[in-house]
Amino acid sequence: MSKVVYKKVVATVSAAILAFSLSACGGGSQETGSSNNSSSPAPAPASSPASSGGGGSEAPLIVKFSHVGTPDSPKGQGADKFKEVLEAKSGGKIKVEVFPSSQLYGDNEEQEQLLAGNVQIINPSMTKLVKFNPSFQIVDMPFLFKSEEAFYKFWDSEMGEKMFAKIEPNGFKSLGVWGGGAKSFTNNKRPLITPEDFKGLKFRIQAGKVLEAQFKYLNASGVTIPFSEVYTALQQGTVDGQENMMNNIDTQKYVEVQKYLTLSEHGRLDYAVLTSKMWWDTLTADQQTMIQEAMDEATAFERSIAKGLSDGSFKKFKDEGRYEIYEMTEADKDKFREALKPMYDEFTPLIGQEFIDYARTLE
């Protein structure tokens, strides 16, 4: 992953993006860490070497970008920005075809299809990479990153590059990390302020040992339920609560079946932008540079949109007053860090002490 100073780009686009993003709060966001996306129509055939491989052909280089988000979600808008920037930067010599909403592949298929050469860029949840490198479990470690800025600093650093480098033998190359948002808790039983408040409650979780352990050490339990079934599970009392990023909590209308919202920002739900290392190595140096520069600009754009949607959803909750809201202080979070210390003892050896230690230094 290249090191990019995003501040300059964000400064020029943030004001316009924020206004646009807030107006879009009602739709588009979806969780993609869970495996509930169905495949759409038969996949497009892989591009021929002349159009999708390295540079000698006069025909434009075709780059197929497949993702599971809707067109108006942050990742959907980020993909469109990448297309816009790269096609302009290349003077039409590179053409980007964006396939949103699982039009080509669901999130359980896209990695395989990327390696098969049927698409050139995908944008999966970071948790999808755990099977290739257990270090990616770091995104689910609770109360580790002190802020959104700290989270992005980690992935834009040499440590982030090092973690992604470990999946290159599996055929993947990272082009960036896109934002989804910080996760917070909702439930229908009581305010969640201290670790003791979680005792005996059931929470919906995505699949994963780290998330199971998180609730175990809080004397609660985690139940794996597909994203599309969460509302019904909350409504019927199958589970008492759930954890998710703010815009998902908003667009999925959990306020209709949940009473309490705790702004904890204890974990993350974010996305890797990946290409095939084999395909990347067929490109010319100029093509690689243009693609990475366009992706860097799209990354800054997408992160700003994600932030705007998150802030807009939380403001909506406060203005409406339908949730009883508690905002955790840093002192509150320290109590959780202490309660969950055994969890860190369990998973740090799998993730890597150097990654955990570095993340803790970031503000």
Query: Is the sign of the CA dihedral 258, 261, 264, 268 positive or negative?
Result: positive
The gap from C-alpha 73 to its chain's centroid, in whole angstroms, comes to 12
Q: Give the percent of the chain with pLDDT over 90.
A: 78
Average pLDDT, the chain: 87
In the predicted structure, residue 332 carries a pLDDT above the cut 90 = yes
The secondary structure of 273-338 as a DSSP string is EEEEHHHHTTS-HHHHHHHHHHHHHHHHHHHHHHHHHHHHHHHHHHHH--SEEEE--HHHHHHHHH
CATH code of the region 7-361: 3.40.190.170
pLDDT in tens, 30-40: 565 443 333 33
Residue 46 phi, psi dihedral angles, 5° rounding: -60, 145
155-174 mean pLDDT: 97
Confidence at residue 31, expressed as pLDDT on a 0 to 100 scale: 64
pLDDT in tens, 62-84: 999 999 888 988 999 999 999 99
The answer to whether residues 178 and 123 touch, using CB atoms and an 8 Å cutoff, is yes
Rg (Cα) of the chain, in Å, rounded? 20
| Rounded distance between C-alpha atoms, residue 102 and residue 94, angstroms | 23
pLDDT in tens, 284-320: 999 999 999 999 999 999 999 999 999 999 999 999 9
pLDDT in tens, 166-202: 999 999 999 999 999 999 999 999 999 999 999 999 9
Other Cβ atoms closer than 10 A to 46: 15
| Rounded distance between C-alpha atoms, residue 221 and residue 58, angstroms | 58
Tally: H helices and E strands in the chain: 14, 9
Q: Which residue has the higher pLDDT, 336 or 251?
A: 336
In the predicted structure, residue 1 carries a pLDDT above the cut 90 = no
Confidence at residue 294, expressed as pLDDT on a 0 to 100 scale: 98
**Lowest mean pLDDT across 8-12, 145-149, 262-266, 287-291:** 8-12
pLDDT in tens, 55-66: 445 799 999 999
pLDDT in tens, 113-126: 999 999 999 999 99
In the predicted structure, residue 329 carries a pLDDT above the cut 60 = yes
